[in-house]
Amino acid sequence: MTMIEIVNLSMRLTGGGEEVSILDDITLTIPAKQFVAIVGPSGSGKSTLLGLIAGLDAPSAGAIILDGLELGSLSEDELARMRLHTLGYVFQSFHLIPTLTALENVAVPLELAESPDVRSKAEALLHAVGLGERARHYPIQLSGGEQQRVAVARAFANRPPVLLADEPTGNLDTVTGRQVVELIIRLNRDHGSTLVLVTHDPILASHADRVVTLMDGRIASDELRMPDS
């Protein structure tokens, strides 16, 4: 089953009277439950591609089909519903709501989805990421690694079929980063999601089923591999 299909995708921006190509004719098919690492130097278009998959921006050309939905055909309200039910997103900078506790941050997508037993589900997720005792703490009271664990729990809250992670260890020290990576991989395997992860870290990428390398907005290589090989 195909979960993500990207067809002839291009992204161009205009600045200073000149057109700059960010992505150029990307075609990529990702089956359900595959773990794909997208790697490449800064400026190669990795994060732009992830944002387009999430429907956070519209491409200049081409199409993205996510779980059977062609994103370009969806209204803003439909895109919001798609992100709520189909996508989990882990950002490099956590993006927690500072005025909410850890528990309340995890509960937000559950409440938006009108899920039953919101509190018990949020508590279970915090326990799953090792933060059951930090439920009532606010983001400012948590370390960077703890904030990212809360963000991971929130991303998995509605058991999305697709999880996107943009440099999830970029703001963490090496040891904490490895712990967060192991957590994402474990939860992803438990939930059976399709995982697309952007990273500069070759060790993190070594866990993936597949490594796609971008260079200058194009696919330079696409390697199907055994994890940790």
Domains of the chain, residue spans: 2-224
**Please, which residues have CB within 8 angstroms of residue 219's CB and are 6 or more apart in sequence?**
26, 27, 28, 212, 213
d(CA 119, CA 111): 9
At 84-131, the pLDDT tens digits run 999 999 988 889 999 999 999 999 999 999 999 999 999 999 999 999
Parallel, antiparallel or unpaired: strands 218-224 and 69-70: unpaired
The pLDDT value recorded for residue 226 is 67
Decide: 36 and 197 in contact? Cβ < 8 Å: yes
CATH superfamily placement of domain 2-224:
P-loop containing nucleotide triphosphate hydrolases (3.40.50.300)
End-to-end alpha-carbon separation of the chain, Å? 25
Please count the other Cβ atoms lying within 10 Å of the Cβ belonging to residue 190.
11
Using 50, 70 and 90 to split pLDDT, how confident is the model at 229?
very low
User: What is the chain's Cα-based Rg?
Assistant: 17
DSSP state, residue 139: G
User: Does residue 173 register a pLDDT over 90?
Assistant: no
Q: Strand pairing partners for 171?
A: none
Greater model confidence, 35 or 177: 35
The pLDDT value recorded for residue 217 is 95
